[in-house]
């Protein structure tokens, strides 16, 4: 719940039409010259902090690994000035707030740090002028490439779930918060158009069961995975898989068990893997365009990563 009613009479940072136009113009130039979406995230964080007097700006995304597990990843952190220690605004308590935002599937308008942190933590934040928080949650079916600074092959492209957390000294005006939201939305649209985000069509591979809205009576266990391309049969009668660079033994085992007939429930029994392990493996196979999911006895595919 917002605490806006208790902020009356305090200074309210805002944004003018001229500032908004100037930022949008600079944004268009930045997107064209960017080589990675993280360049856009850092630029946005810097602009919001320096031009709009926001003390701390953080960009968090959901990141999936090749094993199928997901976690939060801090993509950008900018502080206004160099006095705020990073450990004060990048820790487990902050991570839990972002996780709550993603769990609730929405950001919050404005809250006092006293409503979000322990008395000890809020006191420390107050010493650095970090008295209020605001947040945004932006989601897209576009795939977010792995972090620029992480060259590990363990991280893979992930459907975009972006949490933006702001720390402010004074409660901002409604216009400022709306303006920042507009800037964020436009930036992601430009990034997608520029090819910095990968397009996936009208699907959300991470939310596989959410894609079953028209078929509420079905669950993931009922669906039948089938190959996008058929396996080749050798002269000895064995199936030969094309080299597909699957990331680990578990995913390879699930892929090998798929025969176009078994449902997900039958795959669980055949592989002796848990539902979560099967789900994680199917997520990777969907993202890599190796399988589609079909209704029982039907030819209509429900979910794919195309």
pLDDT beyond 50 at 232: no
pLDDT at residue 13 in the model: 65
CB contact at 8 A, 302 and 215: yes
CB contact at 8 A, 28 and 175: no
Q: Note the pLDDT tens digit of each residue in 61-85.
A: 988 877 777 889 999 999 988 789 9
Sequence-distant (6+) residues with CB within 8 A of 8 are none
Each domain of the chain, given as residue ranges in start order, spans: 4-193, 209-303
CB contact at 8 A, 251 and 281: yes
Sequence-distant (6+) residues with CB within 8 A of 6 are 112
pLDDT at residue 200 in the model: 54
Superfamily of domain 4-193: GAF domain (3.30.450.40)
Q: Note the pLDDT tens digit of each residue in 183-200.
A: 999 999 999 888 888 865
pLDDT at residue 152 in the model: 59
Q: Note the pLDDT tens digit of each residue in 162-182.
A: 999 999 999 988 888 888 999
pLDDT beyond 50 at 19: yes
**Fold of domain 209-303:** Arc Repressor Mutant, subunit A (1.10.10)
* Backbone φ and ψ of 181, nearest 5°: -60, -40
Residue 200 has what DSSP assignment? -
End-to-end C-alpha distance for the chain, whole angstroms: 39
Q: Spell 145-184 as b/e; 16+ CB within 10 A means b.
A: ebbeeeeeeebbbbbbbbbbbbbbbebbeeebbebbeebb
pLDDT beyond 60 at 208: no
CB contact at 8 A, 281 and 254: yes
């Amino acid at each position: 719940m917002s605490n806006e009613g208790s902020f009356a009479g305090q200074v309210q940072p805002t944004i003018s039409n001229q500032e908004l136009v100037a930022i949008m113009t600079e944004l268009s130039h930045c997107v064209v010259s960017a080589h990675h979406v993280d360049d856009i995230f850092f630029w946005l964080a810097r602009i919001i902090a320096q031009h709009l007097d926001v003390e701390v700006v953080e960009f968090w995304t959901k990141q999936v690994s090749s094993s199928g597990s997901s976690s939060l990843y801090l993509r950008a952190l900018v502080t206004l000035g160099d006095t705020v220690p990073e450990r004060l605004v990048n820790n487990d308590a902050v991570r839990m707030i972002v996780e709550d935002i993603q769990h609730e599937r929405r950001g919050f308008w404005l809250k006092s740090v006293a409503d979000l942190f322990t008395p000890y933590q809020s006191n420390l934040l107050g010493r650095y002028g970090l008295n209020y928080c605001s947040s945004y949650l932006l989601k897209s079916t576009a795939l977010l490439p792995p972090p620029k600074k992480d060259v590990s092959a363990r991280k893979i492209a992930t459907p975009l779930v972006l949490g933006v957390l702001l720390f402010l000294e004074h409660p901002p005006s409604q216009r400022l918060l709306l303006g920042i939201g507009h800037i964020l939305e436009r930036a992601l649209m430009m990034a997608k158009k520029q090819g910095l985000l990968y397009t996936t069509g009208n699907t959300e591979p991470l939310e596989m069961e959410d894609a079953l809205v028209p078929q509420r009576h079905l669950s993931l266990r009922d669906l039948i995975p089938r190959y996008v391309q058929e396996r080749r049969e050798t002269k000895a009668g064995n199936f030969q898989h094309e080299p597909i660079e699957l990331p680990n033994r578990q995913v390879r085992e699930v892929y090998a068990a798929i025969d176009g007939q078994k449902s997900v429930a039958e795959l669980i029994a055949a592989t002796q893997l848990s539902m979560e392990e099967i789900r994680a493996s199917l997520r990777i196979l969907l993202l890599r365009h190796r399988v589609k999911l079909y209704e029982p006895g039907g030819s209509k595919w429900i979910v794919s990563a195309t």
